[in-house]
Amino acid sequence: SEPNSTSVKPNHQDAGKKPSTSQAKSSVDVLIIGAGASGLYCAMTAAQRGRSVLVVDHANKAGKKILMSGGGRCNFTNYVVEPENFIGNNAHFCKSALIRYNPWEFIGLVEKHRVPYHERDYGQLFCDNSSKDILNLLLDECAEAGAKVQLKTSITAIKPLPQDSDKSGFMVETSKETIHCRSLVIATGGLSIPTMGATGFGYEVAEQFGHQIIKTSAGLVPFTFTDKVGEVIASLAGISLDVIAFNERISFPRPMLFTHRGLSGPAMLQLSNYWQVGESIHINLVPSVDISELLRQAKAEHPKQLVRSVLSEFFPKKLLLALQDLHWSDLKDKELANIKDETLDAIGDKINNWTIKPSGTEGYRTAEVTRGGVVTDEVSSKTFESKLQPNLYFIGEVLDVTGWLGGYNFQWAWASGKACGEVV
Ligand code: FDA
């Protein structure tokens, strides 16, 4: 089993024993668990304020998700960041940190380090070369400010020290040594991509100190299908289309991709953040045209045409034949003149409002983020300190804050990391 996923020992095992700071080999002002996006940003901010900072991570490399992000080019922020780009049980929680840390602050850092970048659709900013540039930027800032990063280190126990003692804070037992810290920051991220070191450690720590967790699930993740539609979708693997993906709550005009496993692409990933098991999803396959109207008009002007000839300009042939097979196979050789207007409307509806029910998602194996997490009502939105345990902080994805696709999750990591780094 994974040795680094050892859970934190519950408090009661230590009942009666008062941990003493003298047992600690080292003592720091700020101990940050998790050398990912939020942890490194917090570390550099606190170290720049003169705090002694140690970041520990059980992985053999810092920032693995930064490295794999944005297809290797890290979509590090977005020109337009609004609270509406985030979901969570408390929609207001993210506002304070986001207002105080706008995208230009990170862009300034990127420019300071001469990292070449470019804008893509919807204000998304990517590195020209490699995600490594962003990780190196953070590690350089940490090193310059004097924050240390210690890898291959797992946590075996966290013991709070009594508030009234001369040295308050925590004794943290790691696989290497026991460390005393005044402030403890949990920046261990979410559950997505377990092969990259993701664990539920942050949730365990939160629970140790009485925090509640909003049930977690995979977000920004492709949909899977098991029925006949699933077979058809798999047969179309590789085809992509500009669509509007929507449900009762939200709509996303974005590209969609058919894959061997289901539906992916930005439109589907975005909608997955707003999807609950058992719900159908809706896809407008030709957003620019009212297909019912087009078919009625074609019937009037070219009555001998077939439905598929009218629609051929909108789809690759394979997809068009698959849609025909699914939705109007009995009419495939009928001329428009012989099809009732209402039937044409129904075909139009299948194209402009294709309604299908996913059997699920690809799950944490491929998800970009985790929905749910530490309940934000129990954490300060200004400092990110726990309202239940003084000097304990939660930042980044471990919290119940999930961003859209498009650089928003990193923007949240930077913003929460900075806000916390300014007070620890
Ligand atoms: P993050 O995951 O960055 O860091 C957590 C750290 O904690 C890791 O280093 C981990 O090893 C460590 N850790 C975990 N458990 C531990 C334990 N028990 N003990 C010690 N250490 C532990 N976002 C975006 O805005 N733009 C993008 O382009 C992308 N692209 C992207 C691609 C892919 C494939 C994924 C999976 C994700 C993205 N994201 C993204 C999302 C983004 O990567 C994510 O939201 C942030 O990295 C979250 O930052 P955190 O600091 O919260 O966690």
ipTM: 0.99
Cα–Cα distance measured from residue 361 to residue 293, given in angstroms and rounded to the nearest whole number: 34
What residue type is 5 in one-letter code?
A: S
Closest Cα to atom 29 of ligand 1: 69
Pocket test of ligand 1: the residue of 4, 60, 69 to mutate, having most ligand atoms within 8 Å of its CB, is 69
Ramachandran category for residue 407: left, alpha or beta (phi over 0 → left; psi -120 to 50 → alpha): left
In the structure, which protein residues have their CB atom closer than 6 angstroms to any atom of ligand 1? 4-5, 33-39, 57-59, 64-65, 68-70, 74-75, 154-155, 187-189, 192-193, 197-199, 201, 368-369, 396-398, 407-410, 413
Q: Which residues lie below 8 Å from residue 231, measured CB to CB, with a gap of 6+?
A: none
The answer to whether 136 and 143 are in contact (CB under 8 A) is no
Cα–Cα distance measured from residue 173 to residue 177, given in angstroms and rounded to the nearest whole number: 6
157 CA to middle of ligand 1, Å?
22
The answer to whether 30 and 424 are in contact (CB under 8 A) is yes
Pocket test of ligand 1: the residue of 64, 188, 408 to mutate, having most ligand atoms within 8 Å of its CB, is 188
Cα–Cα distance measured from residue 414 to residue 311, given in angstroms and rounded to the nearest whole number: 46
Helices (H), 124-240: 132-145, 201-208, 228-235
Which tokens sit at 283? Answer: 């896809």
> pLDDT tens track of the chain, all 424 residues?
333 333 454 443 444 455 566 667 799 999 999 999 999 999 999 999 999 999 999 999 999 999 999 999 999 999 999 999 999 999 999 999 999 999 999 999 999 999 999 999 999 999 999 999 999 999 999 999 999 999 999 999 999 998 776 678 999 999 999 999 999 999 999 999 998 889 999 999 999 999 999 999 999 999 999 989 999 999 999 999 999 999 999 999 999 999 999 999 999 999 999 999 999 999 999 999 999 999 999 999 999 999 999 999 999 999 999 999 999 999 999 999 999 999 999 999 999 999 999 999 999 999 999 999 999 999 999 999 999 999 999 999 999 999 999 999 999 999 999 999 999 9
Ramachandran category for residue 377: left, alpha or beta (phi over 0 → left; psi -120 to 50 → alpha): alpha
Which tokens sit at 174? Answer: 């790691």
Helices (H), 113-227: 132-145, 201-208
